[in-house]
Amino acid sequence: MAIPPGGAAAAVALGIYDADARDVHLLFVVAGKRTRDLAGLREGETVALAGPLGNGFDLGGVPRDVAIVAGGVGIASVFLAAVALVRVGASVHLYYGARTAAMLVEHERFARAGCEVSLATEDGSAGERGYVTALLERARAPELILACGPTPMLRATAAIAQRMRVPAQLSLEETFACGVGGCWGCVVPIAQSSAQAPHFPPAENGVVHARICREGPVFLAQELRW
Amino acid sequence: MVSAGLSVEIGALRLPFPTLMGSGCYGTGAEFAPFADLSRVGAVVLKSLTRKPRLGNAMPRLVHTPAGMLNAIGLQNPGIDWYLEHEMVALAEAPCAMIGSVAGFAVDEYEEVCAKLAARPEIAAIELNISCPNVASEGETFACDPRLTAAVVRAARRVTRKPLIVKLSPNVTGIATIAQHAEAEGADALAVVNTVRGMAIDVDRWQPRLGNVAGGLSGPAIRPIAVLAVYEVARAVRVPIIGQGGIVSTADALEFFLAGASAIGIGTANFFDPRVPERIVAELSAYLAQRGLHDLHEIVGRANVGFASAEQYEGDAG
């Protein structure tokens, strides 16, 4: 969560795009007042940050063949995972989609980092015309799928992963308020049997609400009941 | 730590700082501990508990709006019995007072949950969240009716001697009357106000933005509504008032004290800056020193000049 200067009424929830021992990089689209304020910061100005919050992709088990699906600014949340996977010898294929070519950013970095990259745009201005999930649909089943982007893209990715019988980790987007698990404003229905399900009395249909900011934002697709 | 002049009494409960973290906004405090010094907070009002577990509303539950936000969480909570058995233990080590919050859909539900919660030594006081529909009277909101408000407070008062805070709704025409009914039944303090009902519509999809359709508006957008409510209630009752609604800065807090509040609630502000409560406490101390005052109580209600005469009042309304 980044707190823009100038007394905005809410913080901005951002994924960590890149990080090393010295720097943290945030990548975001200017969409409203809060992101405009953040983008207006000059070198030397300070910004309040709380984080990192929540979980991240689980890269344990050293998967060798990974598909990453990113939609729009969701690309910001998958770079560190892509780099970490390439570093341990995994073959990583990035499927990246956006509305137009102008919204496809930073994918050259993924290519330079050793990922194979396939692009899609809704208007056909770059890569294949259509949704990015169409690319995944035609691909050979990977060992693991990671995804971050708009909810419809994540739902489609979950359906494809189920057909392919491949585990998928989805980083969910939602409107956040507190960002630290205090307000229960950003929940998703999840199987109560999931290790990520919060402590709750046994629910009738076995489904409870998990906090995207706290138990997530990354969930296993097959455990979501959304 | 210099905090002289900032302590406040709510019934028999003495808080070192006049800042209460709003129910449902602050978890148990533990969630915010990495970002805020809880020993510099007056009290945390816990999330409301009901008799039975509640899964809460469908998503989306939040919408950001100009200078505020709408929420419709739906009182998600594990129910009083589960809470007492599994989650109470975390409160024992809390560095500030923990105030329980009770919600319900029937008078006897308030009574039962209040009795169970108040029996626990970790709970310093009880807040009654009466902005819930009463199933027995066609979903009429307790907080919107003086008789229903009185019935809930009476039932809660029967089962606990702990300080009882009644949280009033701004969605009424005569908040002072409702405040008087709560006071008459033994409320030790009044929290003024809860969220303002509101709605937002997605004009692309032609649908309400909240899963629950209607929600509660909070944040700076509702501050003038809350200040006036405190002002009106302060003229009608003698018990202390916890003023809340859109407080972000010390100047905002001062408005509430000057309107008649003895303490303040901070909710939405924690969402974008968890340092707000601490900053307000430090700046209130500085404000008192600067003005040569010894105690915050010296300014409580000092802006109260009554209301303009009827003719003037109507004229202003135009």
Q: How far apart are CA B145 and CA B171, in angstroms?
A: 11
Write down the ipTM of this complex.
Answer: 0.92
> Which pair of tokens denotes residue A196?
């990520």
pLDDT of A37-81, one tens digit each? 889 999 999 888 888 899 999 999 889 999 999 999 999 999 999
pLDDT of A188-209, one tens digit each? 999 999 999 999 999 989 999 9
> Could you tell me if B47 lies within 8 Å of chain A, comparing CB atoms?
yes
Domains and CATH numbers, chain A: 2-49 (no CATH), 65-171 (3.40.50.80), 174-226 (2.10.240)
> Which pair of tokens denotes residue A151?
């909810």
B26 and A182 within 8 Å at the Cβ level: the answer is yes
Q: How far apart are CA A77 and CA B88, in angstroms?
A: 36
A177 and B71 within 8 Å at the Cβ level: the answer is yes
- Is A170 in contact with A58 (CB distance < 8 Å)? no
User: Tens-of-pLDDT digits for all 318 residues of chain B?
Assistant: 445 799 999 999 999 999 999 999 999 999 999 999 999 999 999 999 999 999 999 999 999 999 999 999 999 999 999 999 999 877 878 899 999 999 999 999 999 999 999 999 999 999 999 999 999 998 999 999 999 999 999 999 999 999 999 999 999 999 999 999 999 999 999 999 999 999 999 999 999 999 999 999 999 999 999 999 999 999 999 999 999 999 999 999 999 999 999 999 999 999 989 999 999 999 999 999 999 999 999 999 999 999 876 665 555 554
Cα nearest neighbour of B249 on chain A: A7
Class of domain B8-317: alpha beta
Q: At which residue do the structure tokens 């009902």 appear?
A: B197
pLDDT at A226 over 50: yes
B270 and A174 within 8 Å at the Cβ level: the answer is no
Mutate to test the interface with A, among B23, B59, B86 (most CBs of A within 10 A): B59
Q: In chain B, where are the structural domains located?
A: 8-317
Mutate to test the interface with A, among B23, B35, B62, B278 (most CBs of A within 10 A): B62
Beta bridge partners of A98: A121
- Active-site residue, B25 included: no
> Could you tell me if B55 lies within 8 Å of chain A, comparing CB atoms?
yes
B107: left (phi over 0), alpha (psi -120 to 50) or beta: alpha
A187 and B82 within 8 Å at the Cβ level: the answer is no
pLDDT at residue A92 in the model = 98
Dihedral sign, Cα of residue B4, residue B260, residue B269, residue B292: negative
Beta bridge partners of A189: A209
Beta bridge partners of B166: B128, B190
CA angle A76, A78, A81 (to 5 degrees): 140
B67 and A9 within 8 Å at the Cβ level: the answer is yes
Chain A interface residues facing chain B, Cβ-Cβ under 8 Å?
3, 7-11, 48, 50, 174-188, 199-201, 203, 207-209, 214
> Could you tell me if B88 lies within 8 Å of chain A, comparing CB atoms?
no
pLDDT at residue A183 in the model = 96
Q: Report DSSP state, residue B87.
A: I
Q: How far apart are CA B49 and CA B44, in angstroms?
A: 14
- Is A189 in contact with A225 (CB distance < 8 Å)? yes
Give chain A's largest Cα–Cα span: 54
Cα nearest neighbour of A214 on chain B: B31
> Could you tell me if B89 lies within 8 Å of chain A, comparing CB atoms?
no
Beta bridge partners of A26: A16
> Which pair of tokens denotes residue A30?
């200017």
Q: Report DSSP state, residue A12.
A: B
Chain A hits for B47, Cβ within 8 Å:
184
pTM: 0.94
Identified catalytic residue from B25, B114, B132, B144: B132
Distance (Å) from the C-alpha of residue B135 to the closest C-alpha of chain A? 22
